[in-house]
Structure 1
């Protein structure tokens, strides 16, 4: 655990008692603060009471009297589309609002690291797509190299639940826009921006607010090194803002398709990763046969992880060996089975059109299982890759409405996962791929994309039972 510093003897309110909220309450208590907790869910409140925390309805009048700060869980809106009523009450009372990420950065180290010859590092990864895989891949490479590493944030453990790092230890954080937008302290040693595509626009008041939330990791944090995907205009803009000159090696630009000039770059073109520095190629890696990283979108993730681990002093050959042993993440281009020459791939994490488009581009001859709670923009860019799709199988409570987005493309309205897998399996021919890449949120039928992916896996397993 990372005890929270700076609130010894103070009352700190905690709103939302899921993983991050309870973790923050425990870390506040470990640092000498009194955590005053609230969640609209009775079961969550009962868990907090069971751990000995004070539970008080923070919506009551004068609830913030004597409170030093309000710590908010990431899923609770604080600005758009409108502030949660309790956050609004805290703001009206003049109580600063923060989250567990801000507490983490404000509390980590603080003089205890003077004993180390090699100071621990924090790597923070944000972006629209690929940040989970990139974070996990960085962690995997470091572990394979024998370096002490911990994975936390949106993936792995809560940031305040991790162990204090040791000599030369590395903490790898995956951070969402919800987390970067609110954190009062953001001071990573290395910051990574993968890409930007429209998502969570209602929460951020549009694409500009969404980008601004991501940009805070760099503008507020002032990392020693910034690794930035430049395949979108926002990434190119951010890289330009961070660089002092074209040869500034504090910024490493990455791309999954472009040839980049000047400075320190890592690119993946036609399946080959290349590191170039001061106009000279340093290393090259063939990514095409790395089973855990299929498709150009995963090649971009490989570029980002390579750039981070090179910045931390690892040799190219060691990184290449570790890439080959990476198994990938559940629900992200996950090969579930191969039955009678047909591959079944679970990419339930493809909850928006852009991430689905990347999955569709990674495979050929696809039986596409799609649908769910439609996001703004519909299937958007995914429609550009329908040439790879033999037929679509639409799931979700509003499957018929979602199917209208496919227009004249061959499709079947299945509604349930069981029916979609059954029909796709019956239609599929050897050499084809049955791909779950919904291009939609899961919440019409499932409580998470993980649950949706698990259902897909179970239905596939029944095919060979």
Structure 2
């Protein structure tokens, strides 16, 4: 556990008692704070009470008169579309609002570090798509290289649940926009920006607010190295803001779309080959085409970002390449779950928006595509460039018929349930084809989350093999 510093003797309120909220409450208590906890869910309150935390309704008037700060869980809105009532009460009372990420960064450095040969480092990864895979891949490479490394944040453990790092230790954090937007302290040693596509727009009042939340990790965090995906305008702009000149190698530009040139430091992938250039000369390369855990151009972008992060820590290209070969991928993210009679079965249930689903479609040829669910704003027109890879679509979800009408030009069968979609796709699939779950929609019309949807796909496939 990372004990929170600077709170001894203070009364600190915690709103939201899920994974991050409870870990924050424990770390605050370990740092000497008196914790007052609240969650609208009675079961969550009961669980916190059983751990000895004082339960206090933070929505009542005057409750913040003697509270030093409020710690808010990521899912609770603090500004848009409108502030949670508790957050609004705290702000009106002049009480600082923070989250577990802010507590982590202000408490991370510990006593005894002066005796370390190499101070511990933090690598923080954010972006719209690929941040989980990039974070897990960095962690895997460092682990394979024998480093003391921990994975936390939006993936793995809560940031305050990790062990205090040892000499030369590395902490890899996946950070969402919800986390970077509110944290009062953001000081990673290395920060990674994968890409930006529209998402969570209601929470951030539009694309500009969403980008601003991501940008805080770099503009306010002041990392020693910034690794920036430049395949969108926002990434180009961010890299330009951070660099003081063309040869500034504190900014590493990453692309899976084109060859990058210039005197600076860049890592890019073209036609399945990763290349690293520094000062205009090639410094390393990896053939990504046969790495099963990293299929498609979107995963090649993740590989470039992870490669760059590991290179900043001094790992050799060959060491990184060996670790890439043994990376198995993440569940529900281009996860190859089976192959039989020349047909591959791929679970990409995490493809909950149009952009991520398009990347999944572009990664394979001759696809039997299982899609559908709770559609997001903007429609499906952006998927059209991937339709040439699809032999047929099998549409699930309560609104499957309406969803299928947006797949103009594709043969689409309304299946509604995962069971029927998998059965029909397996009946139709021919050798050399891929049965792909890439829903391009949220799961909440039929499942609690995308993980449950992916697990159902796996269950339906494996029961028929």
TM-score band, normalised by shorter chain: over 0.9
Partner of 2:454: 453
Give the Cα separation in 2 of the matches to 1:387 and 1:352.
19
Does 2:267 match 1:270?
no
Give the C-alpha shift of residue 236 in structure 1. Answer: 0.3
Are the equivalent residues in 2 in contact too, given 1:395–1:417 (CA < 8 A)?
yes
Distance in 2 between residues matched to 1:142 and 1:398, nearest whole Å: 44
Q: Which residue of 1 aligns with 2:233?
A: 233
SS, match of residue 208 in structure 2: helix
Give the structure 1 partner of residue 118 of structure 2.
Answer: 118
Give 1:34 shift: 1.0
TM-score when normalising by structure 2? 0.99
1:197 is matched with: 197
Contact kept? 1:257, 1:270, Cα under 8 Å: no
Deviations 1:351-387 (A, max 9, x none): 1000000000000000111111111112242222001
In the aligned structure 2, how far is the partner of 1:113 from the partner of 1:290?
38
Q: How many residues align?
A: 464
The residue that corresponds to 1:438 in the other structure is 439
Gaps of 5+ in 2: none
The residue number in structure 2 matching 1:47 is: 47
Structure 2 residue 104 is the aligned partner of structure 1 residue 104: yes
- In the TM superposition, 1:372-391 aligns within 5 A as 372-391=373-392
Matching of residue 67 in structure 1 with residue 67 in structure 2: yes
In the alignment, which residue of structure 1 is the partner of 2:8?
A: 8
Instruction: For 1:273-292, list aligned pairs within 5 A.
Output: 273-292=274-293
**Which 4+ residue blocks in structure 1 deviate beyond 6 angstroms?**
none
Displacement after TM superposition at 1:407 (Å):
2.3
Mapping of residues 356-371 of structure 1, within 5 Å: 356-371=357-372
Other-structure match for 1:245: 245
Cα RMSD of the aligned pairs, angstroms, is 0.8
Give the corresponding residue for 1:170: 170
* 8 Å contact kept, 1:352–1:379: no
Q: CA deviation at 1:290?
A: 0.5
Once the two structures are superposed, residues 206-249 of structure 1 have per-residue CA deviations (whole angstroms, 9 ceiling, x without a partner) of 00000000000000100000000000000000000000000000
Q: Match for residue 83 of structure 1?
A: 83
What secondary structure sits across from 1:64 in the alignment? helix
Aligned equivalents of 1:42, 1:380: Cα separation in 2:
42
1:148 equivalent in alignment to 2:161: no
Which whole-Å deviations, capped at 9, do the CAs of 1:261-296 have from their partners, x for residues lacking one? 120000100100000000000111100010100001
Cα drift, residue 110 of structure 1: 4.5
**Structure 1 residues 153-202: Cα deviation after superposition (integer angstroms, max 9, x where no partner):** 00000000000000000000000000000000000000000000000001
| Cα distance in structure 1, aligned partners of 2:385 and 2:55 | 51
| Larger mean Cα displacement after TM superposition, 151-160 or 51-60 | 51-60
Q: Is residue 22 of structure 1 aligned with residue 6 of structure 2?
A: no
1:320 matched residue in structure 2: 321
* Whole-Å separation in 2 of the counterparts to 1:348 and 1:112: 44
Q: Aligned with 1:293: secondary structure?
A: coil
